[in-house]
Amino acid sequence: MTDQATTPSTAPAVDLSLEDAGALAPLVAPQTAAQRLAEGAVLVDVRSDAGRATTGSIPGAHVVDRYRVDETFDLAAAARLEPVVSLDTPIVVVCGSVRGSGPVAAALRAKGYTDVVHVEGGAPAWAEAGLPVERATGTA
C-alpha cells in the first residue's frame, strides 16, 4: 500500500442511496474496478485508519484523507498524488461504502477529472468479491 502521511479523517459520510451515489460519479462493480486498475487506473482509498484496520488494506491503494482532496489532487501542488499526472488520469475511489466514496469522486469530477469512478459496495464488496486484501497480523 502506498501511504501518504494521514490523520484520522472525521469527514462525515453523506446519507446517499445507490441512485444518489451513482449520480455523483459512476459506480462500478469491484471486478470492474480491479480491471480498471490492471489497465493503469489509480486506486484512491479514502477510508479512515480504523476502516482499513477493520476490513483490510487494498494492495497498491493510495490512502488519501477526504479533507485533503483539494491539495492532493491539485496538479500544480508539490503535495499532489504523484501517479495522478493529468485530468484524464483514470481514478477509482473506494471507501467503506458509497456514502464516503461518492462525495470524493464527485469532488474530483468537479475539479475537472474526467475518468473517475467509485466502487459499489466499497471495500467490503471488494473483499467479498475475492479481490486482494491485506489484513493486519492478528486480525481475522
C-alpha cell of 2?
502506498
CA separation for the pair 5, 139 (Å, rounded): 23
Q: What is the largest distance, in Å, between two alpha-carbon atoms of the chain?
A: 42
Are 58 and 133 in contact, with CB atoms under 8 Å apart? yes
Q: Residue 63 belongs to what H/E stretch?
A: strand 62-63
Q: Catalytic amino acids?
A: 95
Beta bridge partners of 63: 3, 45
